[in-house]
Amino acid sequence: MKNGSSIISMAVLEQSHLIKCIHAEGSKILSRLPCNAEGADISKPSVLLAAFTGTAAFNISGVTLHSLFKLPRNLKPPFQGLGNKLDEVRADLSNAEILVIDKVSMVSKYLFAYVDIRLKQIKGNQRPFGGMSVLTVGDFYQLPPVRQSKPLCVYDPTRIDLWRDQFQIITLTEILRQKDDVAFAETLNRIRVKEKDDVLSGQDKALLSQAVTAPAFCPKDILHIFATNKQVDAHNSTTLALFHSDIIKIDAHDYKKDPKTGRMAKQATPFHGNNQELADSLKLAIGARVMLTRNVNVQSGLCNGTFACIAEIVISDDGPHVSKLGLELDVSRNPNNVSAADNIVYIEREEENLKQRGVVRRQFPLKLAFACTIHKVQGMTKSSAAVSLKHIFEPGMAYVALSRVTSLSGLHILDLDEKKNMCQSRSSHRSCDHDRSFTSAHYASISYLGDIKPTGSSHRHPS
């Protein structure tokens, strides 16, 4: 962090590895500063690693922004202060000088503004981000914030523009995921910046056509990636029935206050919730592929979007219902509750209030995951996957889906629609288009607000 050019020289590394290197080097440098030489609590971090989603946070050994800054689920005004939690959070972040945010394309303007206000409150400093240095990493040609109309980098005259006013941009120019398949990587990069009305070259069409696979001949045991939840649910149900005969149904435990007794009473059948809530019921089997749908313990890898297989179904002793599920995670840090012998993590039901007034639901935070939506795979790397480009509805979706695999040989395209391979329009997304001459897919952006300043070259966000 002492020299801005150091980030450029490390661009050949994997993005998550780059962030971890910045964390290690930044922590080392900050520990040597005179202000930290004596009397500082070395157990408190000086470099914070965070991301919007649990899976992105886990990949960089960080935490979610909501968890780190104790943010409310609803970020819209008015701003909610920390109240009696302020002293605790202030103590935990007393040494923090640098904040690193990964997958910044998924961070909304509301969330970014909330982080700014929260850091001002925590640090007692009215400079942007409380005077901390902020480094963000991501690609604005990938998926934008969920349920947000504009990415962070798009200018909005109705809001304070922290991005435009405070950040410098450094472009990373090495493609790592497809480094062993250059032709495929170059095609993906052209798709990345392709407009809806642009025509794919004959060369790119020919290359992608090699991956087109009829559904009947597509391997059933690889991850299938679809645009919509409806497609995902259909594939998951079909695949579960195809491979498993020992399927069990796990109903949610719904509770509602009894008007006579005033106590919460368990309902005979679950209410009908929406697809954002814990499932009304789950159909599972030993060996079935599943995905967590809530952040249970991000540091342990139990986060929203984590893939696993059902390894054990534990039935309660006091009644015929499932009390625990044993999961074998695809990726694990072997936390305390994981047996080194079998690598199984046990989870219990989570509890949350349904939107239906007065209803409390207890259910396992899971869903089947023989297939998943494109939004769930951002940041993921797979050796093979099947991709459907039907029903693409958002810029960046086709690029994200196709670029999850490391080579063309591992890609199975179930349907190819050139017009769906679109990016953001040039008119509305120009402020994200930092430099067309670069062929990379990632940007690192830095706001130097503390006492650590760059001496290397970089370029200002274009006006």
**pLDDT, tens digit, for every residue of 407-424?**
999 999 998 876 666 565
pTM, rounded to two decimals: 0.80
Q: Which residue has the higher pLDDT, 422 or 362?
A: 362
The Cα angle at residue 111 between residues 278 and 331, in degrees rounded to 5 = 50
Q: What is the pLDDT of residues 286-316, one digit of tens each?
A: 999 999 999 898 878 888 889 999 999 999 9
* Mean pLDDT to the nearest integer, 7-20: 56
Report residue 72's pLDDT band, with 50, 70 and 90 as the boundaries. Answer: confident
Q: Is the pLDDT of residue 61 over 70?
A: yes
Asked if residues 368 and 388 have their Cβ atoms less than 8 Å apart, the reply is no
Q: Is the pLDDT of residue 222 over 60?
A: yes
Report residue 69's pLDDT band, with 50, 70 and 90 as the boundaries. Answer: very high
* Nearest alpha-carbon partner for 407 in 184, 73, 216, 192: 184
Which range scores top for mean pLDDT: 9-23, 64-78, 303-317?
Answer: 303-317
Least-confidence region, from 61-70, 294-303, 434-443: 434-443
Q: Which residue has the higher pLDDT, 160 or 392?
A: 392
Which range scores top for mean pLDDT: 35-49, 132-146, 391-405?
Answer: 391-405
Asked if residues 173 and 126 have their Cβ atoms less than 8 Å apart, the reply is no
Tokens representing residue 409 in the block: 């040989």
Report residue 12's pLDDT band, with 50, 70 and 90 as the boundaries. Answer: very low
* Nearest alpha-carbon partner for 444 in 2, 55, 11: 11
* Mean pLDDT to the nearest integer, 239-268: 93
* Mean pLDDT to the nearest integer, 435-442: 34
Q: Is the pLDDT of residue 255 over 60?
A: yes
Q: What pLDDT score does 285 carry?
A: 97
Q: What pLDDT score does 408 carry?
A: 96
Q: What is the pLDDT of residues 152-205, one digit of tens each?
A: 777 777 777 788 878 888 877 777 777 788 899 999 988 888 887 788 899 999
Q: What pLDDT score does 440 carry?
A: 33
Q: What pLDDT score does 438 carry?
A: 29
Q: Can you give the chain as a three-state secondary structure string?
A: CCCCHHHHHCCCCCHHHHHHHHHHHHHHHHHCCHHHHCCCCCCCCCEEEEECCHHHHHHCCCEEHHHHCCCCCCCCCCCCCCHHHHHHHHHHCCCCCEEEEECHHHCCHHHHHHHHHHHHHHHCCCCHHHHCEEEEEECCCCCCCCCCCCCCCCCCCCCCCHHHHHCEEEEECCCCCCCCCHHHHHHHHHHHCCCCCCCCCHHHHHHHHCCECCHHHCCCCCCEEECCHHHHHHHHHHHHHHHCCCCEEEECEEEEECCCCCCEEECCCCCCCCCCCCCCEEEECCCCEEEECCCCEHHHCECCCCEEEEEEEEECCCCCCEEEEEEEECCCCCCCCCCCCCCEEEECCEEEECCCCCEEEEECCEEECCEEEHHHHCCCCECCEEEECCCCCCCCHHHHHHCCECCHHHEEEEECCHHHCCCCCHHHHHHHCCCCCCCCCEEEEEECCCCCCCCCCCEECCC
Asked if residues 443 and 138 have their Cβ atoms less than 8 Å apart, the reply is yes
The answer for 141, left when phi > 0, alpha when psi is -120 to 50, beta otherwise, is alpha
Tokens representing residue 93 in the block: 């972040």
Q: Is the pLDDT of residue 339 over 70?
A: no
Q: Is the pLDDT of residue 323 over 80?
A: yes
* Nearest alpha-carbon partner for 113 in 75, 164, 149, 140: 75
Q: What is the pLDDT of residues 79-109, one digit of tens each?
A: 888 899 999 999 999 889 999 999 888 888 8
Asked if residues 363 and 282 have their Cβ atoms less than 8 Å apart, the reply is yes
Q: What pLDDT score does 42 carry?
A: 65
* Mean pLDDT to the nearest integer, 32-60: 78
* Mean pLDDT to the nearest integer, 309-328: 92
* Largest Cα span, the chain: 72
Distance CA 289, CA 285 (A): 9
Least-confidence region, from 110-124, 185-199, 285-299, 328-342: 328-342
Distance CA 310, CA 199 (A): 44
Asked if residues 303 and 54 have their Cβ atoms less than 8 Å apart, the reply is yes
Q: Which residue has the higher pLDDT, 401 or 334?
A: 401
Report residue 77's pLDDT band, with 50, 70 and 90 as the boundaries. Answer: confident
Q: Which residue has the higher pLDDT, 191 or 283?
A: 283
User: What residues contact 377, with CB distance under 8 A and at least 6 apart?
Assistant: 223, 225, 385, 400, 401, 404
Asked if residues 194 and 421 have their Cβ atoms less than 8 Å apart, the reply is yes
Residue 78, preceding peptide bond in cis (omega within 30° of 0):
yes
* Mean pLDDT to the nearest integer, 381-400: 90
How distant is the alpha carbon of residue 244 from its chain centre? 30
Q: What pLDDT score does 37 carry?
A: 56
Distance CA 267, CA 291 (A): 27
Q: Which residue has the higher pLDDT, 106 or 237?
A: 237
By CB neighbour count within 10 A (0-12 exposed, 13-18 middle, 19+ buried), where does 190 fall?
middle
Q: What percent of the chain has pLDDT over 70?
A: 81
Q: What pLDDT score does 348 carry?
A: 96
Report residue 372's pLDDT band, with 50, 70 and 90 as the boundaries. Answer: very high
Mean pLDDT of the chain: 82
* First-to-final CA distance of the chain: 25
